[in-house]
């Protein structure tokens, strides 16, 4: 496919996403199945175009004064990829498979409108109805945070210390230009390719050997703050595919016991293969059968991790379509889910133990507010001081990571160079 033909296809795919209100991954997959002439390079380039259009949807449409997929593409090419009127003319030329030439109105918009004149939520590419919450989370840095969440994310890896050291893995992945992550002592960062594509790290022999897992540095830091120790009894209540379970197994050096479960057994499906590859031997997976099978653990756990259901706003760099599909009703539903899972997790914590609450959200309603509601009903739990949380992760200047109400640490692309994560540790008396 020519570069111009890819632009036409990107407009077609975004139209499908918005018309049918479906996830971008589904639309891209269906397009590829119905256009088998497109090679892997074409499909990757199209995915990059579509996700970048979604990242900059609000700002692009404001710039172009139009609410269409075509306007989104043109605006994104200018704002995200640095195209000019002259370079766009070579792509939008109306020739075979290419988009139609720029209209007079489109040229005028590009020549006259400056993003700095737009409202803050437009500049930040954050849904308008969420802006008040976003400002509450980040104050004067809200626009910068939104813009950082509209950028592409790097590929972060966590070394599996059961099988390798970071130094050993850095040497193994030198051809990928891997570097040590700035905050996590277990992390490596692999840059994106020149075309914005993620490197195929899962094809590396070291991955097949279990030397590392793909895990954002922010998620690694959340696990470090939880501080699972050898010999402890740990419950990962929302384990999903097992990312933090694997991190705990390595931190505990396979000593002690980890119970991993999830309310949706489909999310647990990948965990068995990952545990085997990683050499994690102290994990008991409890697959639910209509209900969570954890009653026998009540009052016995040194640490319970609640990696809670949330909006996923902290992962907008990786899932940009999610922010435009989020609705107030779904946000309220996630808050109810959080209250329920926190209540269940609290029962399992033994006296003197700790409940670790984590979200991949940057919204105060899902973070500080959920903690406040929990503490109002559980007077025997007390949040750990921020200094203690920061020290566990090796942070200096912890105040810049404080959440809006000071009940936990708030990581974000602009603050910490990671995905958005909220973490707090609640100690039981």
Asked if 356 contacts 393 with a C-beta cutoff of 8 angstroms, the reply is no
DSSP code, position 191 = P
Catalytic residue among 304, 360, 409, 425: 360
Tell how strand 349-359 and strand 283-286 pair up: unpaired
Structure tokens belonging to residue 128: 């308008």
Tell how strand 257-261 and strand 381-383 pair up: unpaired
Asked if 16 contacts 27 with a C-beta cutoff of 8 angstroms, the reply is yes
Cross-strand partners of 284:
259
Residue 238 known to be catalytic: no
Helix ranges, 80-185 (H)? 85-91, 104-112, 120-124, 131-138, 142-149, 166-172
- What is the C-alpha to C-alpha distance for residues 358 and 361, in angstroms, rounded to an integer? 9
- What is the C-alpha to C-alpha distance for residues 53 and 73, in angstroms, rounded to an integer? 6
Cross-strand partners of 409:
402, 423
Task: Supply the DSSP string of 7-71, one letter for each residue.
Answer: HHHHHHHHHHHHHHT--HHHHHHHHHHH-TTS-HHHHHHHHHHHHHHHHTHHHHHHHHT--SHHH
Cross-strand partners of 45:
none
Query: How many CB atoms within 10 Å of residue 376?
Result: 8
262 annotated as ligand-binding: yes
Structure tokens belonging to residue 160: 């599996």
- Residue 411 gets the label, from left (phi > 0), alpha (psi -120 to 50) or beta, of beta
Query: How many CB atoms within 10 Å of residue 196?
Result: 16
To 5 degrees, how large is the angle CA 85–CA 86–CA 92?
80
Helix axes 57-64, 104-112, angle to 10 degrees: 110
- Detail the residues annotated as belonging to a binding site: 262, 307
Catalytic residues: 360
Task: Summarize the annotated binding site for S-adenosyl-L-methionine as residue ranges.
Answer: 262, 307
């Amino acid at each position: 496919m020519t570069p111009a033909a890819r632009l036409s296809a990107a407009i077609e795919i975004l139209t499908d996403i918005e018309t049918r209100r479906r996830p971008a991954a589904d639309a891209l997959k269906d397009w590829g199945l119905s256009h088998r002439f497109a090679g892997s390079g074409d499909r990757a380039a199209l995915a990059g175009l579509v996700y970048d259009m979604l990242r900059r949807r609000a700002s692009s449409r404001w710039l172009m004064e139009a609410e269409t997929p075509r306007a989104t593409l043109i605006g994104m090419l200018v704002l995200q990829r640095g195209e000019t009127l002259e370079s766009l003319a070579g792509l939008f030329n109306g020739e075979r498979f290419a988009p139609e030439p720029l209209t007079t109105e489109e040229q005028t918009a590009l020549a006259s409108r400056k993003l700095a004149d737009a409202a803050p939520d437009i500049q930040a590419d954050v849904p308008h109805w969420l802006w008040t919450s976003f400002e509450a989370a980040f104050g004067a840095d809200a626009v910068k945070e939104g813009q950082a969440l509209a950028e592409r994310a790097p590929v972060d890896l966590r070394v599996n210390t059961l099988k390798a050291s970071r130094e050993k893995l850095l040497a193994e992945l030198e051809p990928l230009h891997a570097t040590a992550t700035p905050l996590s002592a277990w992390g490596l960062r692999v840059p994106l390719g020149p075309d914005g594509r993620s490197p195929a790290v899962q094809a590396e022999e070291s991955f097949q050997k279990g030397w590392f897992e793909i895990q954002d540095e922010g998620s690694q830091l959340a696990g470090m703050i939880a501080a699972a120790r050898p010999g402890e009894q740990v419950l990962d209540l929302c384990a999903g595919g097992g990312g933090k379970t694997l991190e705990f197994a390595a931190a505990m050096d396979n000593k002690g016991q980890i119970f991993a479960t999830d309310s949706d057994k489909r999310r647990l499906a990948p965990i068995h293969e990952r545990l085997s590859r990683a050499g994690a031997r102290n994990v008991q997976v409890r697959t639910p059968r209509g209900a969570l099978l954890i009653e026998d653990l009540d009052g016995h756990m040194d640490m319970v991790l609640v990696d809670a259901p949330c909006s996923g706003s902290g992962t907008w760099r990786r899932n940009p379509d999610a922010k435009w599909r989020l609705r107030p009703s779904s946000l309220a539903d996630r808050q109810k889910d959080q209250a329920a899972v926190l209540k269940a997790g609290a029962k399992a914590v033994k006296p003197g133990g700790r409940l670790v609450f984590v979200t991949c959200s940057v919204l105060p309603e899902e973070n500080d507010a959920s903690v406040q509601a929990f503490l109002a009903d559980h007077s025997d739990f007390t949040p750990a001081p921020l200094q203690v949380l920061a020290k566990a992760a090796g942070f200096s200047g912890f105040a810049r990571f404080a959440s809006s109400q000071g009940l936990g640490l708030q990581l974000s692309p602009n603050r910490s160079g990671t995905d958005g994560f909220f973490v707090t540790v609640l100690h039981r008396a």
